[in-house]
């Protein structure tokens, strides 16, 4: 049973466009929802995270939207740049232990 479902698997966006990646979870005990960015051959880097008591969090060009009732959350990357090309993972955590989505490979075309 996959606890965190992520879509799309891959995404191609033009430079300056908006990249949107979606995740859905099943376990209502999850209480922390981070997004990670991973470049090839590197470890994941924490990008932005949200707790379920807020519906949106914005940090620079990155925004998380969170819908508790639907058990869904999404990452929006505004003004996408070629340097944003990477794999993005959503995760859901409970007691500090994370379950990851399958990842989205983002390609931003110049």
Contacts with other proteins by CB under 8 A lie at 31-32, 34, 36, 41-46, 49, 51, 89, 93, 96-103, 105
CB closer to other proteins out of 17 and 98: 98
As measured in angstroms, the least distance from the Cβ of 64 to other proteins is 14
Q: How far is the CB of 16 from other proteins (least distance, A)?
A: 27
Instruction: Give whichever of 20 and 49 is closer to other proteins, judged by the CB atom.
Output: 49
| Among 27, 15, 21, CA closest to 108 | 15
Q: What is the DSSP string of 22-87?
A: EEEE--TT--BEEEEEE-TTS--EEEEEE-TT-SEEEETTEEEEEETTTTEEEEEESS--GGG-EE
Please say which residue, 17 or 22, places its beta carbon nearer to other proteins.
Answer: 22
């Amino acid at each position: 049973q996959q606890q965190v479902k992520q879509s799309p698997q891959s995404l191609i966006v033009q430079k300056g466009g908006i990249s949107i990646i979606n995740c859905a979870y099943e376990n209502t005990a999850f209480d922390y929802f981070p997004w990670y960015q991973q470049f090839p051959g590197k470890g994941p880097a924490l990008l932005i995270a949200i707790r379920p008591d807020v519906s949106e969090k914005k940090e620079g060009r990155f925004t998380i939207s969170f819908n508790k009732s639907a058990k869904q959350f999404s990452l929006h990357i505004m003004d996408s740049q070629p340097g944003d090309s990477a794999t993005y993972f959503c995760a859901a955590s409970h007691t500090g232990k994370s379950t990851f989505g399958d990842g989205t490979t983002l390609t931003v075309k110049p």
